[in-house]
Each structure stands twice: as structure tokens, then as C-alpha cells.
Structure 1
């Protein structure tokens, strides 16, 4: 941390020239130490990520995600073993260990409380990422995956998703579109696994179209345009530039793999090159 020293030196110089600048640096030094200590004492997320330019954003993303996931899991009345397993698996994929993992678990528990301020938390989150649409879409996708972990969507879960979507700047149509795409992705992944085991009799084509948000009546050119737009939106390099934590990138990569597989299914059916 060094901004305290810089500001102290400038302010001191304006008031008392060189002697004032020296005093300002000393005062700024103690200020910087206090800020750094305060940040490190905010928990494992801060310590885990402190020292990087994106530390605050990373901590904000992970804390908010697990808190809202906890709130969503509790919405249907009881947090199930599937909910807990899904959250735990997500922590594994984010490589959260020791204190960082315990704080993610604490955030999840905090979100389960009836007094959890969902809208305000998400408004603050949106502001922290300057409303970057790619970050917010990735966040909503994670919420939807939690809601669909048991293969169905409860009405109370949908209400939480809708409230979260509106707080982040999305409307009901956009949420429903994202839900349709995620449901299709869920069926598509399951079918691909079963097909690998030679047990699937499901036609993947309809789901492939839904994963892309496309229609069978679309032209080949329209399909390609939709595919490229989705791939660009979920490209790791673009998300990194928008401030998505590096440890969250694998989730985006899984999504691009799903989009790619769906596109290949459509291409094969249509004979596209």
C-alpha cells in the first residue's frame, strides 16, 4: 500500500513545502500500514488475494457468490445435501482451502439467514464490477446451476433468481432465456454422458439449439453469428479483462466447452462447415 504516502507528501508540500512533504510521508506511511492491516484482518479472502490489483474484486465476487448461493438454497425451506455438495464442489473448483474455504462456508451460512439483504448485496456487487455485463451474466449462471442442481426449479427459488436478476440489471425475459439455456445444457450434458455409456435415447438437437439460444428455423449464418457471440462473451481473456477472478475462469471454460459441443451437434445435423 502506498497511496497514503503519496497523498500525504502532496498535501504536506502544499502546506509547508519540503518539511511538510516529509511529515506527510510519515503520516501516510502509518495510514498505509493501518489500511493494509485492516484489509488483512477482514478474513481469508483478503489474505488469500491481498497484494494483487484485483484483490478487492476477487474477494467481492467469491463472498457474494457463496452468500447468495446460500440464500438461494434456503429459499425452498431446507438446504439439501445436494445443495451443500454443489457448493462444496464449487469451492473445490475455485481451489478455496483452509481459512479461505471456511470463510466461503461462513458466507454460505450468512446467506441462509432470513435477514440477509439480497438486493443491497447484489447492488453493491454490481457497483464493484462497474456493471460489467459479462461478469454479471457469469454470476447469474452460477445461481441458476445451484437452483437446478436437483433437476427442478421450485417457485421460491425462481422468485429469488428473479429478484437477483433485477438487482443486477436483468429483466424477466433475460432470466427466462438464461434458464432455458441452462436447462438445455443440463439435459445435454447428461445425454452426452449416457451416450458415452451407450445408454442414451435422447435427441440432443433441440437442446443444442436451446443452449445457443437459437432456433431450428435460423439460417446457417445466423447460427454461426449466435455461436460466435456466445463464445466471445464467455472467452476467458475477455472475462479476465472485465475483472472475473482467475479461479472462476474454469467455470467459464466449462461453459465454452458446452457451447462448442452444442454447435458441433448442430453443424453435423445441418452439414455445415
Structure 2
């Protein structure tokens, strides 16, 4: 981290010229060190992720993701073996091993505790990413995908998602709209996995209906509107754009899974409409 040194040097120079810049840079250096160490309260993920420049962002994103995931699992009343297996599977996909995996497990357990300050932690997460809506929406998508991984959304899980979403600055309408899209994406993905290796001349009616919902559009909208919605979703999940937001590399790979479903849904609609 260098911003403390840069800001300190500039501020010092404005007041005392060269001597002030030196003093300011020195003070900024200690500020940067303090910021770099602050993420240790998030489980210390930054020690073994993707470099010092991204350590704080990586740690914040992963700690909050696993802690809220634990809270989400506990919201139903009892954390099941399936919930634990789901958390372990996500750790596998994120390639968290050794100490990193232990810290993820600690975050998950912390989220399960009765006194877990959900709203406080989610608000801190929003502030850590400066309210960037792309990052916050991606975070919501990750949580929704996890909640829907068993194909069922419990009422208590829904309320947790609404609470998280509102503290990230989204409306209940937006949250429910994304849930509809995520549910459709889950069904669409499952159906396509089951049909791999089998040729289908035409998409089923259910497949097509889900494809529209994956894109957040309806069958009554024009080709141009559907294409616009598709491009907007794909742009949000583009790896270069996500990299610029400071997200962990492995989290971006998870987002690219979503992008593949978006592409498949769009191809289904294009084929049915004979779009170019």
C-alpha cells in the first residue's frame, strides 16, 4: 500500500515544502502499515492470497463472504452437513488450502454465532469497496448462488439476503429481481449439465423461459432490448473490469461461471428468435 505515503508527502510539501514532504511520507508510511495490518481481524487472508497491493481487498471480500455464508446457513435454525459441504466446495473452487482454509472456516464459524453483527460487517464491507455497485452486486450474486445451491430458498435465508442487500444500498425490488434471475440461472445450469453430450434440436419451453429470466428480460421485449441487457450483464462480469475493482482472482473465476450461463441463455434466445 502506498497511498498513505503519497498523500502524506503531498500534504507535507504544501505546508513545509521539502522537509514537510519527508515528514509526511514518513507518517504516511506508518499509516500504510497500520492499514495493511488491519485486515488481520478479518481472519488474516491477506497473508497468503495475491500480493500486498490486493491483500486488504482480498481479505475483506473473502472474510465477509464466508462469515455471511455461515450466518445464512444458521438462519434456517441448524447448519446442515450440506451447508458445510457447500462451504468446503467453495473453498476448493477458491483454492484455499492450509492456513487460508483454516481462516475461511473460522470466518464461517464466526458468522454462525448468535451475536454476529451482520449489518455492521456488511456496512464495513461496502465502505471498504467505496460503495462500488459492480463489486457489491457481484457479492450479492455470490451469496444468492450459495443460498440457491440446493434449489430451495428458505424464508429465513431470504430475509438475510434482503438485510445484506439493503445494507449494501440495494432495494428489496432489486434483490428480488436478482433472486429471480439467479433461480432461473440455477435451473438453466442444471438442465444444461444434465443434457451435455445430447443433441437437442430445439430448446424446451422451460429452457427458453429460464433463459429470458437469466437475462432479466421478457419474451415481449425487442431484440435490441434483449441484446442491450445481455451486453450489460456480460460487461459486468468481464474479467478485466472485475480485476480493476480489486477483487480476488479466484472470486473473478466464480463470476466467469455466471458469465458462461449468461452466454448460454443468450444463445438459446438468439436461436429461438433467429437473431443475428
TM-score, structure 2 normalization: 0.86
1:34-183 pair list within 5 angstroms: 35=34, 38=37, 44-49=44-49, 51-183=51-183
Q: Contact 2:46–2:52 (CA<8 Å) still a contact in 1?
A: no
Contact 1:71 1:111 in 2 (8 A): yes
Tell me if the contact between 1:83 and 1:149 (Cα under 8 Å) persists in the aligned partners: no
In structure 2, the partner of 1:227 is 230
Residue 255, structure 1, aligned to residue 258, structure 2: yes
Structure 2 CA distance, aligned partners of 1:170 and 1:110? 25
Change in Cα spacing, 1:29 to 1:72, as seen in structure 2 (3 Å) is closer
What is the Cα deviation at residue 81 of structure 1?
1.6
Structure number with bigger Rg: 1
2:243 is equivalent to residue 240 of structure 1:
yes
Q: Does 1:194 align with 2:197?
A: no
Write the deviation string for residues 65-87 of structure 1: whole angstroms up to 9, x where unpaired. 10000000100011112211111
Do 2:235 and 2:241's aligned partners in 1 also have CA atoms closer than 8 Å? Answer: yes
Native 8 Å contact 2:47 2:55 kept in 1: no
Change (3 A) 1:220 1:103: same
**Secondary structure in 2 matching 1:216:** coil
Q: Displacement of 1:59 after TM fit?
A: 0.7
Change (3 A) 1:7 1:194: closer
Instruction: Give the equivalent residue in structure 2 for 1:212.
Output: 215
Q: CA deviation at 1:33?
A: 10
Measured after TM superposition, the shift of residue 60 of structure 1 is 0.4
Distance 2:107 2:230 in 1: 35
Query: CA separation in 2, counterparts of 1:104 and 1:214?
Result: 36
Secondary structure of the residue that 1:204 maps to in structure 2?
helix
The total of aligned residue pairs comes to 271
Seen in structure 2, the aligned counterparts of structure 1 residues 32 and 197 have a Cα distance that, compared at 3 Å, is same
Partner of 1:203: 206
Could you list the per-position Cα deviations for residues 113-146 of structure 1 after superposition, in whole angstroms to 9, with x for gaps in the alignment? 0100111101110000011111111110111112
TM-score normalised over the length of structure 1? 0.87
Instruction: Tell me the alpha carbon deviations over residues 133-189 of structure 1, each in whole angstroms, 9 at most, x when there is no partner.
Output: 111111101111121122111111111011000000111110111110110011111
For 1:125, what is the secondary structure of its paired residue?
Answer: helix
| Structure 1 residues 188 and 6: CA distance shift in structure 2, 3 A | closer
Indicate how the Cα distance of structure 1 residues 183 and 104 shifts in structure 2: closer, same or farther if over 3 A, else same. same
